[in-house]
Structure 1
Amino acid sequence: MSIVETSAVASSEQFASTATAIDLPEVTTRPERSLAAWAVHSWIQCKRLLTGWMRDPATTIQTIVYPALTLLMFWIVLDDSITSFSGKPAIYGTVSMLTLIAAMTGAVVSALGFKTEKATGLLGRLWTLPIHRAAGLTGRLMAEAIRVLVTTLIVIAVGFCIGFRFDQGPLAALGLIGIPILFGIGFAVFVTALATVSEGPLLVQIVGLLTNLLLFFNSGFVLIEAYPTWLQSTVENQPMSCAIEAMKGLSYGGPVAEPLIDTLLWVGGVILVFGYPAVRGYQKAAEKSG
């Protein structure tokens, strides 16, 4: 045996002895379809989306800055008129209304991001990875819930500066903050289902029309009695009005149980109707993108 071969054998034996002396960490794997993998992968997807939104100035303005500025605009222009007409501080209805509007507009931004991922092929590439199939959609909904929470807290903070208060205690305050989150998740499911089948600007046009209708025909602006008699029942029972009345009851005071139950029924109904189309549409979009 030559000197080179002898040296190579000695080096390999030394490496083998060293490797056996090192305690390598045990590799733990989770089954791709397990609940633990679903939770972990959903959180990873959630962080990915939140990081992308935070790095996009347009998204930050649309979901955080715009609602706060809109609240100040409504307060400057309409607060005194609405308060004198209704006999109650208008700020409670305005804050509640704008947290819901922010939840809906943010869902549209998220849906547009989904369509971008589909067009660029990112959705398909993620679909081929060994991750839980439901993680993409649930991670998106988790990110939506966190975004709505942050936006709601910012709108409420601005509202505090101009007269909004939690007059019903801390538990009622937590309940109030939870309503926009539930409302936003339900609306996000609806928009996601729509985004999987719409093309071009159709998504923005449809959701924009719906958002404007809900914005101008709800109990956040004025009392239900201010609308024409033939329209009052529709305005009173539309989802935004139910949520606004529940939030006003949890902050200023008033009925809570009935409007809260109506809100939960609306959210549950939307998820029940559009949940399956959203899941199937997401799957088809991912497979087609891939």
Structure 2
Amino acid sequence: MNALQDSATMLDRNIRHTLRSPDMMIMTVALPVIILLMFIYVFGGAMSMGRGAYVDYVVPGIILLCAGFGASTTAVALSTDLAEGIIDRFRAMAIARSAVLTGHVVESVLRNLITSGLVIGVAMLIGFRPTADPLRWLGVVGLLALFIFALSWLAAALGLLARNPEAANGFTFVFMFLPYVSSAFVPTESMPTWLHGFAENQPVTPVIETMRGLLMGTPIGDSALLAVLWCAGIALAGYLGAGALFRRRTRA
């Protein structure tokens, strides 16, 4: 119970920090929206499926791009806390050490679910027309939350591994890169053979295909199981790595 209360306190602290820095949330939303508009209005007309159909195709990938960019800020936030010495102050207090990490991760999930919702709203304004019923929407939210949760734990580990916030920001570049080499923006079949194999077997593709299937009614196949397994594996690796690195970085 004490650990839960401490985690809630850390969550409240991180939410307050976010509310006092609205520029972070603006950037988290603005970058995916700009990319969405660029792909739709610059590249969409050249797609064989047509601009209208391309909106429905590309939005799930943009949602994950938004989630990845937002989750990466967890690494910078943790690295900043270490650099500024606030973690040392927490160590002198009677609080659970795990609460520091849990507070950052849960805040990341809540913040990025909100920003992803805003991106979906903008997408609807420019023509996105999902066919999902309430149950499928619940599945979309659940999968998105799991994806953000997994990336946030991985980002926490990378933030603790980095020696400064700048390095932490660089370490999370892969979060922005992976969606581009997946089925987010073009079918993987259109890629060169040597790239097609990687795009098909990396963690983002099954998550995107599952979300696309839930939102638009396209076939999901085994993508849902693969998506959950990838997210669970990334979350476990991030959790174990973050815990070990936190103990090492805060060792007396």
TM more than 0.5: yes
Q: Within 2, Cα distance between the matches of 1:137 and 1:102?
A: 22
Structure 1 pair 88–227 and aligned structure 2 pair: CA distance change class (3 A): farther
In the alignment, what sits opposite 1:170?
134
In structure 2, what residue type is equivalent to 1:44? T
Residue 153 of structure 2 contacts residue 242 of structure 2 at CA under 8 Å; is this kept in 1? yes
Question: For 2:52 and 2:163, how far apart are their aligned partners in 1?
Answer: 44
Deviations 1:153-201 (A, max 9, x none): 1111111112223313111012112222211111111121122122243
Q: Does the aligned pair in 1 maintain the 2:75–2:157 contact within 8 Å?
A: no
For the residue of structure 2 that corresponds to 1:272, the secondary structure is helix
* 1:196 paired residue among 137, 144, 160: 160
Structure 2 match to 1:96:
60
Q: What's the offset of the Cα at 1:61?
A: 2.2
Distance apart, 1:265 and its partner CA: 0.9
Q: How many matched pairs?
A: 251
Report the Cα distance in structure 2 between the residues aligned to 1:163 and 1:132, rounded to whole angstroms: 47
Per-residue displacement from partner, 1:265-288 (whole Å, max 9, x unpaired)?
111111222321211212333446
Amino acid at match of 1:256: I
Instruction: Name the amino acid aligned to 1:137.
Output: L
> Which amino acid in structure 2 is aligned with residue 219 of structure 1?
S
Structure 1 residues 256 and 87: alpha-carbon distance in aligned structure 2, compared to 1, 3 A threshold: farther
Report if aligned partners of 1:38, 1:135 keep a CA contact under 8 Å in 2.
yes
Kindly report structure 1 stretches of 4+ aligned residues shifted beyond 6 Å.
none
TM-score between the two structures when normalised by the length of structure 2: 0.91
Kindly report the root-mean-square deviation, in angstroms, between the aligned alpha carbons of the 2 structures: 2.0
Gaps of 5+ in 2: none
Which 5+ residue runs of structure 1 have no aligned equivalent?
1-35
* 1-structure distance, mates of 2:17, 2:51: 44
Q: Deviation of residue 219 (structure 1)?
A: 0.6
Give the C-alpha shift of residue 117 in structure 1: 1.0
Residue of structure 1 in register with 2:70 after alignment? 106
TM-aligned CA distance change 1:87 to 1:163, over 3 Å: closer
Give yes or no for the alignment of 1:67 onto 2:32: yes
Aligned 8 A contact 2:154 2:235 in 1? yes
- 8 Å contact 1:99–1:151 — kept in the other structure? no
Counterparts of residues 112-127 of structure 1 (less than 5 Å)? 112-127=76-91
Higher Cα Rg: structure 1 or 2?
1
The residue type paired with residue 214 of structure 2 is L
Maintained 8 Å contact 2:158/2:171: no
Asked whether the equivalents of residues 86 and 222 of structure 1 are also in contact (C-alpha less than 8 Å), the reply is no
2:247 — aligned with what?
Answer: 283
Q: CA deviation at 1:54?
A: 1.9
CA deviation digits over 1:53-83, x for unaligned, max 9?
121143122222322233222221122323x
Name the residue aligned to 1:48: 13
* Residue 269 of structure 1: aligned partner: 233
Partner of 1:214: 178
Q: Which residue identity is paired with 1:119?
A: A
Structure 2 SS opposite 1:89: helix
Q: Which TM-score applies when normalising by structure 1?
A: 0.80
Please give the alpha-carbon distance, in whole angstroms, between the structure 2 residues aligned to 1:88 and 1:67.
19
Shift of 1:257: 4.8
